[in-house]
Chains A and B, each alone.
Chain A
Amino acid sequence: GAGVSQSPSNKVTEKGKDVELRCDPISGHTALYWYRQSLGQGLEFLIYFQGNSAPDKSGLPSDRFSAERTGGSVSTLTIQRTQQEDSAVYLCASSSIYRDLTDTQYFGPGTRLTVL
């Protein structure tokens, strides 16, 4: 079946502009995650959604970052007033629930964000 999809695949923006990144999880997956992959920093957790529960926002680096998940499916990560240090690949992942635990996380192809 279709995997996790993300759009756009590449985004170039100017410093100070707002950007929106989209994630379509695997159908039926109730858990959705956002990670950031920066040069020299590896993969960093940003935010986690599970069903109708309050999201775990503990990884968001500043209040310029926010995310929504509408209807328990599609998610949008928004970065306001982008800075050059926001340049990175933003990865989305989704997983199902097995025995009350989230199962394997399946990753999307990522959105490469470049802030000029």
Chain B
Amino acid sequence: AQRVTQPEKLLSVFKGAPVELKCNYSYSGSPELFWYVQYSRQRLQLLLRHISRESIKGFTADLNKGETSFHLKKPFAQEEDSAMYYCALRGSGSEKLVFGKGMKLTVNP
């Protein structure tokens, strides 16, 4: 079965602090992992995907197959990073995304 777990529902940090949003997955094959973000009153949008290996808005995420994790990290959080973050998985040969339950990040001034 495919499952995505985001163990924390809420994270509150101060501006400039490092953040790490945890994501663990369960899948027997080679998955594709994504982070989606939803800012207040905006639609859900892709933040980054592991195959791109790029940094978006200062965020990075590394797929660790040994630990089955895809944690999202940013060294210095900004107030505009406050949003809901969803980790998602797509299994090989599958088209649907399996999402975690999301985590709300609040960056305080």
Q: Which A residues are closer than 8 A to B by beta carbons? A: 3-4, 31, 33, 35, 40-45, 48, 50, 56, 58-59, 91, 102, 104-110
Q: How far is the CB of B42 from chain A (nearest CB, A)?
A: 8
B99 at the interface (CB under 8 A from A): yes
B102 at the interface (CB under 8 A from A): yes
A108 to B42, CA, bound (A): 10
Q: Which B residues are closer than 8 A to A by beta carbons? A: 43-46, 49, 86, 88, 95-102
Cross-chain contact B46 with A56 (CB below 8 angstroms): no
Q: How far is the CB of A12 from chain B (nearest CB, A)?
A: 20
Cross-chain contact A108 with B43 (CB below 8 angstroms): yes
Given contacts A56-B96, A102-B95, A109-B43, 5 further A-B contacts (CB under 8 A): A33-B96, A35-B99, A42-B101, A45-B98, A48-B96
Cross-chain contact A56 with B95 (CB below 8 angstroms): yes
Q: Using A42-B102, A107-B43, A109-B43 as known contacts, say yes or no to A31 and B96 having CB atoms under 8 A apart.
A: no
Cross-chain contact A104 with B49 (CB below 8 angstroms): yes
Q: Which of B43, B96, B100, B102 contacts A59 (CB 8 A)?
A: B96
Cross-chain contact B43 with A40 (CB below 8 angstroms): no
Q: Which of B45, B46, B95, B99 contacts A42 (CB 8 A)?
A: B99
Cross-chain contact B100 with A42 (CB below 8 angstroms): yes
A109 to B43, CA, bound (A): 5
A33 contacts across to B, CB distance below 8 A? 95-97
A64 to B98, CA, bound (A): 22
Q: Using A48-B95, A50-B95, A102-B95 as known contacts, say yes or no to A43 and B86 having CB atoms under 8 A apart.
A: yes
Give 30 CB contacts A-B under 8 Å: A4-B43, A31-B95, A33-B97, A35-B97, A41-B101, A42-B99, A42-B102, A43-B86, A43-B88, A43-B97, A43-B99, A43-B102, A44-B99, A45-B96, A45-B97, A45-B98, A48-B95, A48-B96, A56-B96, A59-B96, A91-B44, A105-B46, A105-B97, A106-B45, A106-B46, A107-B44, A107-B45, A108-B43, A109-B43, A110-B43
A42 contacts across to B, CB distance below 8 A? 86, 99-102
Cross-chain contact B97 with A40 (CB below 8 angstroms): no
B100 contacts across to A, CB distance below 8 A? 42
